[in-house]
Structure 1
Amino acid sequence: MDRLRLMETFCRVVERGSFSAVAREEMTTQSAISKQMQALEAQLGATLLVRSTRSHSLTEAGQLYYARCRQVLDALEDARIEVQRAEHDIAGMLRVAAPAAFGRQHIVPRLHGFYARYPKVKIDLLLDDSFVDLVAAGVDVAFRVGELKDSQLVARRIGTAHRAALASPAYLARHGEPQHPSDLAGHQCVVYTGLAAPNEWTFLDESGIPLTVKVNGCFQSNSSEAMRQAVCEGLGIGYSTLWLYGADIRSGRVKPVLTRFRLPPLPLNVVFQPARRPSLKVNHFVDYFAEAFAQDPDIADMLESDAGMPEQTRRFGRPK
């Protein structure tokens, strides 16, 4: 069989995690895929995969060969795209991952502008508040809010997301407004469980000294959108990125509290698979959104690089 075809199948087996997944995509049998891998190993004179009844793992030779194969296949894909680009034709499927609320509020509303430039690109948007495994999910590019835990990922930072403590006027009318982070011990706090230490909220005083307080409340969730709704409904005080509440702050549904204190900001990155160099299609997509975010006053103000107390915590506190 053609060696390039075997290389493509090998990479897909590694990235999909199983022979059966590749067989389903190819509409063939698992044994057919297994025979292709045996043929490739015979050509190379090396074992690439250690197989068990339910899974497989790469040998050291397999890891080296996968990295090289991925480079070759990506180079060929780039060559294909460059030819298309010469004819003004960026096309094909682009699989994108993002946190659910960020995708709904800040990616989907901007897609019409992206499609106006690149009408032949198809977007497959995967929304999940957890960090998706790019290789296992076959994701080309992902938006991530927060410090990157996987040092192997290739990342491009496109902003800094500021955070604030927020509550609805109805909640504050019932329970009063906290004046110091330590006051939160006497309040219902809406806890986002997607954080490493969800019940520990850190604030910075005017000197930049961190103050961490333990919080509790009657409601917690692993969904940032459920948390936002709970805060808007007056269930308690939230601790979140400002971009999640932009419209709510402007309309007066919620207001920032404890504004004398800063919350440590979070980086906003786009990340790529470690074995891949971003394709032209991915670069066009990322460039478009970086430009769109920078030009939109709403989100640009919430993605400032300034580490100081963001002015928008006061400006957005005044309903229009």
Structure 2
Amino acid sequence: MDRLKQMETFLAVTEEGSFSGAAQREHVSATIIARRINELEQRLGVKLVHRSTRHLRLTEQGVLFAEECKRLLQDLELAEHSIQDVSQQATGHLAVSAPAAFGRKHVAAHASSFLAEHPGVSLSFNLTDRVVDLVREGYHLGIRIGGAVDPNMVAVKLAPNQRVVCASPRYLQRHGRPQTLDDLARHQCLAFNLQGGQQRGWFFHKDGRDVTVRVRGHLDCNDGELLHRWCVEGLGLSWRSTWEIQRELAEGSLVTVLDEYASPDYDITAIFPQQRYQPAKIRLFIAHLKAAYAMPDYWMRPVALRSA
């Protein structure tokens, strides 16, 4: 068994607090984790972990060894990344989590151009609207739109964005234009359902404070692209990000309402765990996305052309 892998597994066990947690983090079974720890203890000739069916506790030697393992692995990572930085070449595997629709159109869409510039990198994407725990689930980088950022994470702004209420001119002709937040109760509002994760309502800024409005309508779903399509078809009001609707706003197929209550910036950001050294693969992928998003009329282009 590789000594480095044993140390990584032991640290995963100490940080997760269980074999099952370490197994999920390393994408193996709990049986394999237990075997690695047993082999490590046999090699060292000391007991590192007291374990029962429900609890896991480090021995005194285990606590000392965990501190040394963490220091050694950090030094090894720093040495490897320092060499990468000198060569200015990104290498290794980069696992990225991003919201489903945004990730398809604006993150994974840039994979081919990034790999053409950095062939030493391999990429994998998890596209989901669920909030992913990057550290626990083994991702190097997350793309987020709005929301609070964990203080243990570094956040880099990729592009500005806002959340606005919009509708088609046809819908507004039939049902009138809402003038206040209270008017939303009298309109068909197209919203994510419980499975879509937006059950808390729509966020606004009123009288100097943030407010939440619970909305209702005859249609809801857990897919943002379907809500977008329904809005363009005139089936109701929708609370959308400006990155999604800039083309429709320019064409006139959608218009915004209640702009004076629009929530503050809902920026598109990249987040990654705080560490002593930022790997080149993370730094360069972030720079690649920022450069793409800053291109003139990027958000106005058809999806097929955005990765050009």
| Fold match by TM threshold 0.5 | yes
2:52 is the alignment partner of 1:17: no
Structure 1 CA distance for aligned equivalents of residues 291 and 217 of structure 2: 39
Q: Name the Cα RMSD after superposition.
A: 3.7
1:157-200 per-residue CA deviation (whole Å, 9 max, x = no partner) reads 44442121011233223322223322211101112345666335
Structure 1 residues 252 and 86 mapped into 2: Cα distance closer, same or farther (>3 Å)?
A: same
Structure 2 CA distance for aligned equivalents of residues 158 and 202 of structure 1: 23
Structure 1 CA distance for aligned equivalents of residues 228 and 64 of structure 2: 45
Shift of 1:7: 0.9
Structure 1 residues 20 and 227 mapped into 2: Cα distance closer, same or farther (>3 Å)?
A: closer
Q: Is the CA contact (8 Å cut-off) linking 2:153 and 2:274 kept in structure 1?
A: yes
Alignment partner, residue 204 of structure 2: 202
TM-score of the superposed pair, with normalisation by structure 1: 0.74
- Give the secondary-structure state (helix, strand or coil) at the position aligned to 1:191: strand
What is the one-letter code of the residue matched to 1:174?
R
Alignment partner, residue 7 of structure 2: 7
Structure 1 CA distance for aligned equivalents of residues 172 and 148 of structure 2: 35
- Give the secondary-structure state (helix, strand or coil) at the position aligned to 2:94: strand
Alignment of 1:17-36 (within 5 A): 17-19=21-23, 22=26, 24=28, 29=32, 32-36=35-39
Structure 1 CA distance for aligned equivalents of residues 68 and 145 of structure 2: 31
TM-score of the superposed pair, with normalisation by structure 2: 0.76
Structure 1 residues 198 and 229 mapped into 2: Cα distance closer, same or farther (>3 Å)?
A: farther
Specify every segment of 5 or more residues in structure 2 that has no aligned partner in the other structure, as ranges. 301-308
Structure 1 residues 21 and 145 mapped into 2: Cα distance closer, same or farther (>3 Å)?
A: closer
- Give the secondary-structure state (helix, strand or coil) at the position aligned to 2:253: coil
Structure 1 CA distance for aligned equivalents of residues 88 and 95 of structure 2: 21
Structure 2 CA distance for aligned equivalents of residues 157 and 127 of structure 1: 19
Specify every segment of 5 or more residues in structure 1 that has no aligned partner in the other structure, as ranges. 301-320
Alignment partner, residue 311 of structure 1: none
Alignment partner, residue 72 of structure 1: 72
2:119 is the alignment partner of 1:119: yes
Structure 1 residues 202 and 142 mapped into 2: Cα distance closer, same or farther (>3 Å)?
A: same
Structure 1 CA distance for aligned equivalents of residues 211 and 282 of structure 2: 40
Structure 2 CA distance for aligned equivalents of residues 290 and 253 of structure 1: 28
Structure 1 CA distance for aligned equivalents of residues 204 and 281 of structure 2: 39
Shift of 1:222: 3.6
Structure 1 residues 160 and 69 mapped into 2: Cα distance closer, same or farther (>3 Å)?
A: farther
- In the alignment of these two chains, the number of paired residues is 293
- Give the secondary-structure state (helix, strand or coil) at the position aligned to 1:179: coil
Structure 1 CA distance for aligned equivalents of residues 40 and 274 of structure 2: 23
Shift of 1:238: 0.9
Alignment partner, residue 143 of structure 1: 143
Q: Is the CA contact (8 Å cut-off) linking 2:191 and 2:198 kept in structure 1?
A: no
Structure 2 CA distance for aligned equivalents of residues 275 and 39 of structure 1: 32
Shift of 1:69: 3.7
Structure 1 CA distance for aligned equivalents of residues 295 and 217 of structure 2: 38
Shift of 1:155: 2.9
What is the one-letter code of the residue matched to 2:236?
G
What is the one-letter code of the residue matched to 2:21?
G
Structure 2 CA distance for aligned equivalents of residues 19 and 10 of structure 1: 11
* Range with greater deviation from structure 2 (33-42 or 249-258): 33-42
2:231 is the alignment partner of 1:236: no
1:4-37 per-residue CA deviation (whole Å, 9 max, x = no partner) reads 3421232455578244885848xx9555324135
Shift of 1:260: 3.9
Q: Is the CA contact (8 Å cut-off) linking 1:188 and 1:236 kept in structure 2?
A: yes
What is the one-letter code of the residue matched to 1:202?
F
Percent identity between matched residues is 30
Structure 2 CA distance for aligned equivalents of residues 213 and 69 of structure 1: 49
Q: Is the CA contact (8 Å cut-off) linking 1:99 and 1:129 kept in structure 2?
A: yes
